Amino acid sequence: MCTLTYLPLENQQFIITTNRDESPDRGLVTFPVYRHIEGKNIIFPQDPKGGGSWVATSDNGISACLLNGAFEPHVPQPEYKISRGIILLEAIECIKPDEFFKNYNFEGVEPFTIVVFFHDPELTLLEFRWDGINKHLKEFDASKPHIWASAQLYTKQAIKNRQKWFGEWLSKNHNFSVKEIREFHKNAGSGDLSNDMIMDRGIVKTVSISHIYSKVGLIEIGHENILTHKYQELSLSQHVNQQFSHQVL
């Protein structure tokens, strides 16, 4: 839940890719996990401890990704009322994610950032940050590439370095593909193992890379466990604008 990139494609298609930096002692993730709620098929890798997820997609065209922290590092509290990974799944269940964020009571929830990608009816990128006190909602230009990084794990300089690496990658790659952006998420860096895209600080390290490729009529989701070198990929049919599918391919 710690570095996210977004690449726009033709016809409102897109690719999002995320590196998850977490304690390897947290346990093995279950993938794929399906949830069918109110006519929507939702698919995601499931965290074994909290039961939620850091990235998910659904056949009504909504995808979302969770990052640890809001704007500044925070001191974790011993008890929170709900896992942030559960909140991500609740957000993706809503046809209007912006309304979910505006109306939800986040008091007692650890600070986080969620970026949601949905059609309303045009493709919309919505960033929501909860800093522990206030809500912050921001819309991004869906026609341009973007990168986010965890404010909890990375200093402002480390985040700027990621933006620099991404900018350099964009200058050399003009025809975006899943293969190429996954290579960026694996190999970008300066040789600093604590802050490279594949990071390792001992108790916290990059444990997986996931991507969502939203095509016309189809969504592809891939998940690679870095620790076990296991890669899985599958697809589901997509029907945006509230036209739901009940068939998972």
Q: Provide CB contacts within 8 A for 81, sequence distance 6+.
A: 107, 108, 109
pLDDT at 157: 97
Terminal CA-CA length for the chain: 26
* Apex 106 CA angle, 140 and 240, nearest 5: 45
* Domains along the chain with CATH numbers: 3-237 (3.60.60.10)
Report the Cα 216 to chain-centroid distance in Å: 20
Residue 128 CA to residue 156 CA, distance in Å, equals 19
Partners of residue 6 on adjacent β-strands = 16, 146
Which tokens belong to 5?
A: 């990139």
Instruction: Output the tens digit of pLDDT for each of the chain's 249 residues.
Output: 699 999 999 999 999 999 999 999 988 899 999 998 877 899 999 999 889 999 999 998 899 999 999 999 999 987 899 999 999 999 998 888 999 999 999 999 999 999 999 988 899 999 999 999 999 999 999 999 999 999 999 999 999 999 999 999 999 999 999 999 999 999 999 999 999 999 999 999 999 999 999 999 999 999 999 999 999 999 989 876 443 333 333
Closest C-alpha to 88, from 130, 38, 126, 52: 52
Q: Provide CB contacts within 8 A for 154, sequence distance 6+.
A: 2, 162, 195
